[in-house]
Chains A and B, each alone.
Chain A
Amino acid sequence: MLNGYGATIVEGAWLTLTLALSSMAVAILLGLIGAAFRLSPVRWLALLGEAYATVIRGIPDLVLILLIFYGGQDLVNRVAPLLGYDDYIDLNPFASGVFTLGFIFGAYLSETFRGAFMAIPRGQGEAGAAYGMSGLQVFFRILVPQMIRLAIPGFTNNWLVLTKATALISVVGLQDMMFKAKNAADATREPFTFYLAVAALYLVLTSVSLLALRYLEKRYSAGIKTAEL
């Protein structure tokens, strides 16, 4: 299939998927930390969280990717000699990609999580405390299950944007399916065929995600009344 390039592209698709999933894990972690910072009563923490969300969301993904990939590598090697480390440090491209995308989408998710958190009536947390639950128990038993339901729509959106943003990582040389397609296109001089194949694979990925997350939303909304207009 595809002049024998089918297998390499599927291999690339696998990398795209692992990249997207790992980045999302990092993004969720950073998003939760970011949301906690922004909701924190400590002023400088709140400001720090706010700055993270605003600055990252104000700069294109591509520029951030180039900045962290090339600029980060460059910076590490400028700083390391000052600390007495003289060998050239090569950052692992996959790890850098995961960190970069996670860092970018953590900012977007912090906004989603903050919104979800604020949408839960205060009385519920207070009721939990009145039952004698500790802060962590209130968080995991009362807030998280409801936050998930409220955050799913925003999360779905971010996941889809993140999946599509993985294509940009090919620009810095990570061998995802876009990168493999470019190689195949250059070798066979049939760019349209290969980019169309990649487009189809992305469409499958986004469609499956959409269905799965819609199902999840239904599950988590069980027992929630919706008013019919």
Chain B
Amino acid sequence: MIFDYNVIWENLPLYLGGVLVTLKLLAISLALGLLAAIPLALMRVSRQPAVNLPAWLYTYVIRGTPMLVQLFLIYYGLAQFPAIRDSVLWPYLSNATFCACLAFAVNTSAYTAEILAGSLKATPHGEIEAAKAMGMSRGKLYRRILLPSALRRALPQYSNEVIMMLHTTSLASIVTLIDITGAARTVSSQYYLPFEAYITAGAFYLCLTFVLVRLFKRAERRWLAYLAPRKA
């Protein structure tokens, strides 16, 4: 037999630990990214150039450069400056997990902001006029009408972004973290079985992708039920 899967079975705990690391990275970066994306999206729909332009520049630059470069800029790049090495932030910025989460969160915030901005702009104008006619202030309009419906309508596109992020977290293995890909790299170099090691990692990611797709389908059924095509 040309394949050897015994080693993979023996190292299953390593992979399962990797799954936990991957999920942790994903959850943290998505949470932080979404938190940053909401104000950015509000800036992106503003008609004032002074507000819109900085947000546009941010999303343009982040979306126009590879994730790997952003990760290296934060993890390896920042160490170039003595001022940063001497600052109170250094214990965090020299930590691979922290840097990976930061880089992923920055990356996803830009993509999510564009998704949300598109969704905000697609709000039916009748809803906004109705809110104004009810005498709602701008803050109330955003809080009660625009954001709840825009966040819901962004769900299908956001699910794509979440899956892209799941795949992006594999880059964490390049900065020494043992996520699923990191586990595969460890197994591959220890036993020199690259094929089996990476196929296994691929299978884990495939399973996680399917689970996420399922979860989002459910979420859409729950929160977007009113937009579903009517059953004949």
Contact = CB atoms under 8 A, between A and B. Distances in A.
Given A58-B209, A66-B185, A178 B68 contact: yes
A70 to B, nearest CB: 4
Interface in A7-63: 55, 58-63
B17 interface: no
Contacts of B197: 71
B72 interface: yes
A198 B68 CA distance: 11
Contact of A165 (B65, B66, B184): B66
A191 B80 contact: yes
B58 interface: no
Interface stretch (B41-49, B87-95, B163-171): B163-171
Contact of A199 (B2, B70, B174): B70
Contacts of B198: 63, 66-67, 70-71
B77 A60 contact: no
Contacts, number: 126
A195 interface: yes
A79 interface: yes
Q: How large is the interface on A (under 10, 10 to 19, 20 to 34, 35 or more residues)?
A: 35 or more
Interface in A131-177: 160, 164-168, 170-171
Interface string B49-84: 000000000000100111111101100111111000
Interface residues of B, number: 44
A19 to B, nearest CB: 13
Nearest to A196: B73
B118 interface: no
A189 interface: yes
Contact of B66 (A55, A79, A167, A193): A167
A82 B206 contact: no
Given A64-B202, A191-B79, A207-B64, A199 B69 contact: yes
Task: Determine the main DSSP class of B at the interface with A.
Answer: helix
A79 B195 CA distance: 12
A195 B168 CA distance: 19
Contact of B181 (A63, A166, A206): A63
A67 to B, nearest CB: 4
B154 to A, nearest CB: 17
Given A62-B181, A192-B81, A202 B65 contact: yes
B195 A178 contact: no
B199 interface: yes
A167 B168 CA distance: 13
A203 interface: yes
A190 interface: yes
A95 to B, nearest CB: 18
B188 interface: yes
A202 B205 contact: no
B184 A199 contact: no
Nearest to A59: B202
A12 to B, nearest CB: 13
Contacts of A213: none
A189 B70 CA distance: 18
Contacts of B67: 164, 167
B69 A198 contact: yes
Contact of A167 (B68, B81, B181, B205): B68
A133 B214 CA distance: 45
Interface of A: 55, 58-64, 66-67, 70-75, 78-79, 82, 160, 164-168, 170-171, 178, 182, 185, 189-193, 195-196, 198-199, 202-203, 206-207
23 contacts: A59-B202, A60-B166, A60-B170, A60-B181, A60-B205, A62-B173, A63-B202, A64-B202, A67-B198, A71-B195, A72-B195, A79-B2, A160-B64, A164-B66, A167-B66, A167-B67, A167-B68, A168-B66, A170-B68, A191-B80, A192-B81, A195-B77, A203-B65
Interface of B: 2, 61, 64-70, 72-73, 76-81, 166-171, 173-174, 180-181, 184-185, 188, 192-199, 201-202, 205-206, 209-210
